[in-house]
Amino acid sequence: MALRRYLLLLAQEHLEFRLPEITSLLSLYGGQFSSEQEIRVNSPFWILSIPSEEMARGLMKRTVCAKSIFELWGHGRSAGELYESLKNYPADKMLPYLQSDSTYKIHIHTFNKTLTQAQKIKKIDALEFLPFKGKVNLKTPEHIFWILEDYGMNPNDVPEEPIHLYFGRWIADGQRELIESYSVKKRHFIGNTSMDACLSFIMANHARVKPNDIVYDPFVGTGGLLISSAHFGAYVCGTDIDYNTIHGLGKASRKNQKWRGPDENIRANLRQYGLEKYYLDALVADFSRPIWRKGMLFDAIITDPPYGIREAPRRMGSQKETVKSAEKSTESHFFVSSSYHLSDIFFDLLKFGAEYLVMGGRLVYWLPIYRPEYTEEIIPRHPCLKLISNCEQMLSSHTSRRLITMEKVKEFKDQDENSYLLDGQYLPYRGHNSFREKYFSGVTKRIAKEEKDNQK
Amino acid sequence: MKLLTHNLLSSHVPGLRPGGGFPLKIELGHPSELPPEPLPDYEANEEFLRRLHHVLLEVEVLEGSLQCPDSGRRFPISRGVPNMLLTEEEA
């Protein structure tokens, strides 16, 4: 199948998360990166070879990492190379968009440099050799062409001439406007740890959520992660051990608000965006004790487990421990909080994914990391799940969290259950358990140092 | 709670025989009709599918309980949310 070349213009944030997002989305449409990609991972310009414009449009209907996609007509490391490349682009591929009865405009975009209007016009005029027959219409053109110039990655050392130049026909924009329309600032119901909108869309894309999927979040909280899946047409459900959060009761997380209002629960959040029909259910449940019948399967599990910093990980205890009572309601609280060690959460999460995901279904979750001790070996593993990607987001100089994406590639058999634990590579890394202390140790040291400095 | 979700749940009271936790029995605050047996060839029957969709996804239990078939333990449903937590003694 003949591949065509497209240029992706990406947003320069969440850099590590972009390639897995684009790869996952391409695979959703039956495509993949071809082997000779020139992907410079940190650059905003990626050239993709994919079989059709339809696939390019499909990609843009989902991505929040990419701003726009263009049908690539030419590129080079200098203006001369760009023009040569354009002269070599087959005329029969250009002509449909250059007809005399059509309208067009040319836009110029520069990365890491600002050009004057005069400079821009000069560069556009230099393309006069292209057989444009249509009329220029700056307001509502039928076809839009872009010149894109890359002036490198160093804002302190901007070259005189661009290091890469591209010319292409604009096809579509991505979904970055969702970031604003789904912003947590405007959301009716939030919690202490609600995920920001861009990351929650990235997670749904890493998970390859598609319409009519069933997506589950076992630590659902206020349901922020489910909203993005619902936006993409999946039916969503969640569980949480915290009765008040599921029912939308108790203290508010907003600064100047004391108690939660009547419109604050997961269902109301979905209703705010017109997505109520995708709400399946929210239940109060302890993830360490699954409530699902055997044989039932989810298409994706997307979650942000508690790391013990702003919300403490809890589960039901079997010994007598301190009883925590809920604030307002009279029901939930016959549970006893025993500490749910982080490494056990991940162990349970992977086991749950192996058992309850469809084949090819994905588990996407955040793993808190203490950076001085990080190696790839500490990423939890399971024989039924394949690690797809691992993207870091810094939280502080010594802590970060990694978005882990795993795919079910092997059926779960009961005898798998715990025997694989004996295999060295699956031993749970116990270091996760002390994440809370490690997170705060850096803070404590810094405060001590500041106090010492102030005393001088 | 939707009927679709109910179809996916199982009781997790400790000590049940395998499969003994499913299906949970729905007890409602007031009596209600439950659907008939599936008709033969139901996949092609649009009318039946509409009614099935309605019952699975558009009817919700707001107050009631789910009863474990083997142990009889009841999990309450309030404001549409089932509470599947076991007590300290049961766990």
Are A294 and B91 within 8 A, CB to CB?
A: no
Please give the distance of CA B70 from its chain centroid, rounded to a whole number: 15
Label residue B16 by pLDDT band (50, 70, 90): confident
Return the structure tokens found at A32: 């993949």
Same domain, A135 and A230: no
Confidence (pLDDT) at A264: 62
Within-domain flag for A71: yes
Distance from CA of A240 to the nearest CA of B (A): 10
Confidence (pLDDT) at A335: 44
Q: Is B9 on the interface with A (CB under 8 A)?
A: yes
How many C-beta atoms lie closer than 10 Å to residue A284's C-beta?
25
Within-domain flag for A422: yes
Least confident of A126-140, A407-421, A427-441: A427-441
Phi/psi class of residue A368: alpha, beta or left (left: φ > 0; alpha: ψ in -120 to 50)?
beta
Confidence (pLDDT) at A260: 62
Residue with tokens 């009572």: A325
**Domain's final residue, options A127, A157, A174:** A174
Same domain, A389 and A370: yes
DSSP conformation class of A230:
H
pTM of the model: 0.85
* Residue A258: pLDDT over 70: no
Contact residues on chain B for A284, CB-CB shorter than 8 A: 81-85
Q: Using CB atoms, pick whichever of B8, B79, B84 lies closest to residue A247.
A: B79
Least confident of A154-163, A212-221, A416-425: A416-425
Q: Look at chain A and report how many structural domains it folds into.
A: 2
**Domain's final residue, options A174, A202, A232:** A174
Pairing mode, strands A214-217 and A314-316: unpaired
Angle value at C-alpha A26, between A20 and A27, nearest 5 degrees: 90
Confidence (pLDDT) at A301: 98
* Residue A415: pLDDT over 70: no
Residue with tokens 């469809």: A358
Distance from CA of A321 to the nearest CA of B (A): 9
Same domain, A285 and A353: yes
Confidence (pLDDT) at A256: 65
Give the residue with greater pLDDT, B18 vs A78.
A78
Mean of pLDDT values over A100-129: 94
The CATH number covering residue A257 comes to 3.40.50.150
Domain span including residue A123: 4-174
Confidence (pLDDT) at A334: 40
Same domain, A130 and A83: yes
How would you label A73-86 residue by residue, b for 16+ Cβ within 10 Å and e otherwise?
Answer: bbbbeebeebbebb
Q: Is A357 on the interface with B (CB under 8 A)?
A: no
Label residue A71 by pLDDT band (50, 70, 90): very high
* Residue A234: pLDDT over 90: yes
Q: Which of residues 21-80 of B touch A (CB under 8 A)?
A: 21-23, 76, 78-80
Same domain, A138 and A287: no
Mean of pLDDT values over A111-137: 93
Within-domain flag for A451: no
Confidence (pLDDT) at A414: 72
Same domain, A346 and A229: yes
Within-domain flag for A161: yes
Are A283 and B79 within 8 A, CB to CB?
A: no
Confidence (pLDDT) at B48: 78
Distance from CA of A296 to the nearest CA of B (A): 6
* Residue A340: pLDDT over 80: no
Distance from CA of B41 to the nearest CA of A (A): 23
Confidence (pLDDT) at A429: 58
Same domain, A112 and A223: no
Rg (CA), chain B: 15
The DSSP secondary structure of A282-338, one letter per residue, reads EEE--TTS--BPTT--EEEEEE----SSSS--EEE-SS--PBPPPSS-SSS---BEE
**Domain's final residue, options A174, A204, A222:** A174
Give Cα separations from A197 to A284, A394, B34 (angstroms). Answer: 25, 17, 40
Label residue A323 by pLDDT band (50, 70, 90): very low
* Residue A420: pLDDT over 70: no
Averaged pLDDT of chain A: 84
Same domain, A183 and A165: no
Within-domain flag for A52: yes
Contact residues on chain A for B91, CB-CB shorter than 8 A: 289, 316-318
Whether the Cβ atoms of residue A218 and residue A317 lie closer than 8 Å to each other:
no
Q: Is A296 on the interface with B (CB under 8 A)?
A: yes
Question: What backbone phi and psi angles, to 5 degrees, belong to A127?
Answer: -90, 15
Are A243 and B19 within 8 A, CB to CB?
A: no
Give the residue with greater pLDDT, A321 vs A358.
A358
Are A292 and B9 within 8 A, CB to CB?
A: yes
Label residue A339 by pLDDT band (50, 70, 90): low
* Residue B20: pLDDT over 60: yes
Same domain, A276 and A373: yes
Are B84 and A290 within 8 A, CB to CB?
A: no
Within-domain flag for A355: yes
Q: Is A245 on the interface with B (CB under 8 A)?
A: no
Give the domains, in start order, of chain B with CATH numbers: 3-27+39-82 (2.20.25.10)
Same domain, A138 and A254: no
Helix (H, G, I), strand (E, B) or coil at A204: helix
Within-domain flag for A231: yes
The CATH number covering residue A53 comes to 3.30.2130.30
Distance from CA of B33 to the nearest CA of A (A): 21
Give the residue with greater pLDDT, A141 vs A335.
A141
**How many Cα atoms are found within 13 Å in the side-chain-facing hemisphere of A60?**
20
Confidence (pLDDT) at A192: 67
Confidence (pLDDT) at B13: 87
Please give the distance of CA A221 from its chain centroid, rounded to a whole number: 19
* Residue B14: pLDDT over 90: no
Confidence (pLDDT) at A201: 97
Same domain, A37 and A160: yes
Same domain, A218 and A146: no
Label residue A344 by pLDDT band (50, 70, 90): confident
* Residue B62: pLDDT over 90: no
Whether the Cβ atoms of residue A259 and residue A247 lie closer than 8 Å to each other:
no
Within-domain flag for A198: yes
Confidence (pLDDT) at A122: 94
